[in-house]
Chain A
Amino acid sequence: MTDTTEKQGAARSHAEIDDSITSRSEMTALQAAIRTQPFWVFVAIIAIGIVMNFVSDVFLSERNLFNITRNFAFFGIMALGMSAVICTAGIDLSVGSLMGLAGIVAGLVMQAGYGIVFGFLACMATAATVGFVNGVLIAYLRMAPFVVTLGMLAMARSIAMVVSNNKMIYEFGPDQDLFEWIGGESVIGVPNPVWVLIILTAVFWWVWRYSIWGRWVIAIGGNAHAAKLAGIPVERVVVSVYMLSSLCAGLAAFLMVGWFGSVTNALGLTYELNVIAASVIGGANLMGGVVYAVGAPIGAALMELIRNSLLLAGIDALWQQFFVGLFLILAVLLEQIRNRGRQ
């Protein structure tokens, strides 16, 4: 490598060498894409899709695809936020409970007749507050993310029970129809939550690739100490990351309650595990420093696809969790193997 560049160097001017060195990189864009986790998970999705097409006539029907995409949209939206948290080598266990709390708050506000705008704002403000508390405890008081968000998991669920008085809410005031349309209906044959997921994925793709904030989050995940020394406001960025994760959960809750047409304080129970699994299958590395915008929807899609396929293939529903867990472990194993090959 060195020898060849030196030999060529004799024949060429320095400017030319500089230029060729500058523009050289280890691999092309396509090669880079093939090396990513989401690419291989996407291949797995296509493979399952092809197999299922032979197993079941219903699989590729419009109705089934509609259901699959809508079902995973909620998890995909939350996984987008969770991926950001995991990228900083953190974890957010509170998203499921927060869904319950944010959903109940939205429901109560609209039930009281304040309309959908206030309902939405209250929902998101609740989420932002929870994320802010998580972030401050983790970034400024340097507590372990696992413990802080585990505590919040319990607290948020409890508050949801208290404020809902353990009752179901199904009256959403003057904007009930609009609320239920947003969460439950579709535009051009695509469910509204899926539109939200598509738009958010595009936004996140841009954020991770082009925004300064995104670059800083990835840097913090790679080496928080170095990021701090480079002058990045690490604490503030970490707080914003937890707020983002919470806001994604709040948005998912708002859409889901609209779809269900009712909300109980059990909304989102154990969803945090699915969201984390979707993020990890989509390529998020719990050690931090790795994030893909497309990973979140792809990871969530694979999980829903497994569930749906087992159902259509007539396999006992009791097996579903087994296969979701199996794919989670396989995804992490795949990443290990790829990393080993790289070094």
Chain B
Amino acid sequence: MSLLELDGITKSFGAIHALQGIDLTVAAGEAVGLMGDNGAGKSTLMKIIAGNFPPTGGRLRIEGQEVHFHKPLDARENGIEIVYQDLALCDNLTAAANVFLGRELKKSFGPIRYLDYRNMYRRAGELFGELKSETRPRDLVRQMSGGQRQAVAIARTRLSDPKLVLMDEPTAAISVRQVAEVLALIERLKETGHAVILVSHRMPDVFAVCDRVAVLRRGAKVADKHIGETSPEEVTGLITGAIEHA
């Protein structure tokens, strides 16, 4: 049984049909690359899965159960975590504070509840350790490199042990060495049985870590193939429309 199942998802913004019946499945421990040119509907599809807005038509199933998301928190409660393209971090807070943002660990003193710094630092340290990242929980995010920031955003998704992690262009704005770090992080997510959807423009990254690649063009899925059965050239052709269908 697939972890996530999209069945005929459509989305219209007025007269514009952003998505025209997308079917997509992702299994546990599997990474699917979602590719397409600007305006192909990648972001719209991501936002539907993430609960930013509901689809116009079609069904979303998680482990066979149909789900309806009205806000991002609904998706999170159903085991879907998102790493946003801009990472959605607060630069003025520490790495640990960002990991626990909105889910702070608390201690109680009578009726008064306060932040449990010790355990948040410890747990954040463990998460960075699991990701084999040299990120220090007490450092401000402002002072961090692109790769470290990415690690903070990914560590945050692991707090709740999600089933599926959506990653939106995680390698778009970072250096080559940091790209390798991020790809290693994705591998680690797969090893621990998480499903990953990777939205990316970067062909080498998708071919490095993904098991399957799905290509969107003008709101329709034009290909869904195992990495071994396709090539960067074919995918490029599918994205641009040089190859109609595969």
Question: Which A residues are within 8 Å of any B CB, using their own CB?
Answer: 2, 5, 14, 18-19, 21-26, 206, 209-212, 215-216, 218-219, 221-223, 225-227, 229-232, 289-290
Contacts and interface: CB of A to CB of B under 8 A. Distances in A.
A21 B106 contact: no
A4 to B, nearest CB: 11
A209 B128 CA distance: 24
* Of A18, A225, A226, most B-chain CB atoms within 10 Å: A226
A226 B89 CA distance: 6
A26 B138 contact: yes
Contact of A26 (B73, B90, B113, B139): B139
Given A26-B136, A26-B139, 19 more contacts: A21-B128, A22-B124, A22-B129, A23-B121, A25-B138, A26-B140, A210-B114, A210-B115, A212-B106, A215-B93, A219-B90, A219-B101, A223-B91, A225-B88, A226-B90, A227-B90, A230-B88, A230-B103, A290-B92
8 contacts: A21-B134, A22-B121, A22-B122, A23-B121, A26-B138, A215-B93, A231-B72, A231-B102
A14 to B, nearest CB: 8
A174 to B, nearest CB: 35
Contacts of A14: 129
B218 to A, nearest CB: 28
A222 B90 CA distance: 5
Contacts of B76: 231
* Of A22, A209, A227, A289, most B-chain CB atoms within 10 Å: A22
Contact of B113 (A18, A23, A212, A290): A212
A26 B141 CA distance: 12
Given A225-B88, A226-B90, A211 B114 contact: yes
B125 interface: yes
A341 to B, nearest CB: 13
Contacts of B97: 215, 219
B101 A24 contact: no
B126 interface: yes
B136 A215 contact: no
Interface of B: 72-73, 76, 82, 84, 87-93, 97, 101-104, 106, 113-115, 121-122, 124-126, 128-129, 134, 136-140, 143
Contact of B90 (A24, A212, A231, A289): A289
Binding site secondary structure of chain A: helix
A25 B139 CA distance: 6
Contacts of A221: 92
B90 A22 contact: no
Contacts of B73: 231
Given A22-B136, A25-B139, A212-B104, A229 B88 contact: yes
B136 A227 contact: no
A135 to B, nearest CB: 20
A289 B142 CA distance: 12
Contact of B115 (A21, A212, A222, A290): A212
A212 B97 CA distance: 11
Given A18-B129, A212-B113, A229 B92 contact: no
Nearest to A6: B134
Contacts of B82: 229
B93 A222 contact: yes
Contact of A2 (B89, B115, B122, B134): B134
A36 to B, nearest CB: 13
Nearest to B50: A229
A24 B88 contact: no
A218 B102 CA distance: 12
Contacts of A212: 104, 106, 113-115
Contacts of B143: 26
Contacts of A232: 101-102
A225 B134 CA distance: 27
A209 B104 CA distance: 13
B88 A223 contact: yes
A289 B106 CA distance: 22
Nearest to A211: B114
